[in-house]
Amino acid sequence: MKKFLIAIVSLFMVALALPLQAAPETEKSLYERLGGVFAIAAVVDHFSNAIVKNPIVGETSKNPALREWHTKNLGRLPGLKFMRTLWVCEVSGGPFKFSATKPGKTHLGLEEAHRDLKISPEEFDEVAAELGRTLDFFKVPAHEKGEVLAAFAAHKKQVTAGHKMK
C-alpha cells in the first residue's frame, strides 16, 4: 500500500510539473480589435468631418444633392455620426444595434437612406478612399483596415442605387 501511495503522489507531482496548455483563444471580433464604441465613434467623427470638406463628395461637390446636404443640412451631422457609429458597431460584431431611419431591403440596407443623394460609383469610391485615409490617421492595423473597407464596399450597390447613368 505504501508503494502504491508513493506511485500516486509521484504521478501527481509529474502532472503538476507538465506545462499547462491553454485553451485556444477565440479570435476577437472586429469591434473589439477596433477598440470598441469609443474608438469607433472617434473614427466616425473624423471621417464625417473629412467627408464634408472633401472636394469630390462634400460641400463643393459637383453632385448637387451631396453639395446641398453638406452645406444646408449640417445640423443633422451629429445625428448622422451617431447612426454611422451604430452601423459600424453592428457590422463589426459589437453589441449595439443600428436601426435605419429609412429602412432598406435588409436590416443594414442603405439604399433608401442614400437614394436621393444620387451617389455615383466614383463618388462612393472617393468616400471609401476618405475612410481609408481616416483609418490611416488613427493607425488602424492593415488587417482591420481591410476588414472595415470590405464591409463598407459590400454596400456599394445599395448606396449607389439612386445614381442614374448619363
Q: Is residue 166 part of a domain?
A: no
Would you state the pLDDT for residue 108?
74
Query: Does 46 reside within a domain?
Result: yes
Distance of CA 76 to the CA centre of its chain: 21
How many separate domains does the chain show? 1
Domain range for residue 108? 31-159
pLDDT tens by residue, 53-98: 999 999 999 999 999 999 999 999 999 999 999 999 999 999 999 9
Assess if residue 5 is contained within a domain.
no
Query: Residue 83 belongs to a domain with what CATH number?
Result: 1.10.490.10
Give the DSSP H/E element, type plus range, for residue 47: helix 36-53
> Using 50, 70 and 90 to split pLDDT, how confident is the model at 17?
very low
According to the model, what pLDDT value does residue 100 have? 86
C-alpha distance from residue 3 to each of 8, 10, 68 (Å)? 9, 10, 90
Does residue 14 sit within a domain? no
Q: What is the mean pLDDT of the chain?
A: 86
> Is residue 7 included in any domain, yes or no?
no
Q: Residues 130-144: pLDDT tens digits?
A: 999 999 999 999 999
Residues 6+ apart with CB under 8 A from 156: 121, 124, 128
CA distances from 15 to 10, 12, 23, 75 (A): 9, 5, 17, 66
